[in-house]
Structure 1
Amino acid sequence: MNEDAFWQLIEDCRPAGPDPEAELLTPALTERLAQCPLSLVTGFAEQLSWALYQLDRKEYGYDLSGDAFLYTRAAVVAAGRAIFESVLQDPAVFKPYATKLIWAENLLYVPDHAYKRITGEEWDRNTRYSYESYSNTEGWAD
């Protein structure tokens, strides 16, 4: 799955109304991915990890705990490509997510749930980029 397909899938699955914590988005994404070849599920996981990794930077940290920072970054991704790219261009766009503690933790588990629906097995996955907070050493360098 390439970057454009990743963002298009998120857009296609996003509800029309507000869903800041991706409570409606994530089941729709899981359902859609569970109908796809396994390669798209793994591709989605890679693109999700890459997006979260790009947001793992000190200018977005706002003194959040590791988990809070991860879940807040996930909310930015769940908000779609336009918001994600705005945050990359201007860290101030991230601030409302951090100060209001808008979290989309459940987005992190979409590939795992889709994988299990397809294979019937748990997925012990690794991606090229770690989405864990503070793993982007370049983003935290002085």
Structure 2
Amino acid sequence: MNEDVFWQLVEECRSPTPDPEGEQLAAALTARLVNGPMSDVIGFAEQLSWALYRLDRKEYGEGLAGDAFLYTRAAVVAAGRDEYETVLRYPDRFVPYASHLVWAEALLYVPDKAYEHITGEEWDRSTRYSYESYSNTAGWAGA
């Protein structure tokens, strides 16, 4: 799954009604992934980890606790590609997510749930990029 397909999938699965915790988005994404090939699940996990890793920088997360920072970055991804790219260009656009504790923790578990549904087993996954808070050492240089 390339970046364009990832963002198209996110957009197609976003709810037209308010989804403050990203639960509806996560459910819709999981449902779509379980009906496709395993390569889509793996590709989704890779693209999600890359998107979260890119937001793992000092200008976004300074002063935020690890989980809060992670869930807030997930909310930016859940907001869609346009908002995500705007936040990347203008870090001050991250402030409302952090100050209002806008989280989308459920998004993080989409690949795991899809994998488990397909295989019946838990996924002990590893992606190229870690999405855990503060793992992007270049983004935290000088912190």
Structure 1 alignment gaps of length 5 or more: none
Residue of structure 2 equivalent to 1:128:
128
How far is 1:134 from its partner? Answer: 0.2
Instruction: Report deviation, 1:62.
Output: 4.1
Q: What corresponds to 2:22 in structure 1?
A: 22
Letter in 2 for 1:137: T
SS of the counterpart of 1:50? helix
Q: Distance in 2 between matches of 1:19 and 1:27?
A: 11
Residue 115 of structure 1 pairs with residue 115 of structure 2: yes
Q: For 2:55, give the aligned amino acid.
A: L
RMSD: 0.7
Aligned pairs, number: 142
Identity over aligned residues, as a percent? 72
Q: Which residue of 1 aligns with 2:69?
A: 69
Provide the residue aligned with 2:11 in structure 1.
11
Counterpart secondary structure, 1:140: coil
Say which SS state the counterpart of residue 138 (structure 2) adopts: helix
2:85 equivalent in structure 1: 85
Report if aligned partners of 1:53, 1:131 keep a CA contact under 8 Å in 2.
yes
Q: Which amino acid aligns with 2:104?
A: A
Deviation (angstroms), 1:20: 2.8
C-alpha separation in 2, matches of 1:101 and 1:83: 17
Q: Contact (CA 8 Å) 1:7, 1:80: kept in 2 or not? A: yes
Letter in 2 for 1:71: Y
Q: Deviations over 1:102-135 (max 9, x none)?
A: 1111100000000011111100000000000000
- Under a length normalisation based on structure 2, what TM-score does the superposition of the two structures give? 0.97
**Stretches of 4+ aligned residues off by more than 2 angstroms:** none
Residue deviations 1:59-87, cap 9 Å, x none? 00141100000000000000100110000
Q: Secondary structure at the match of 1:137?
A: coil
Q: How far apart in 2 are the matches of 1:62 and 1:86? A: 19
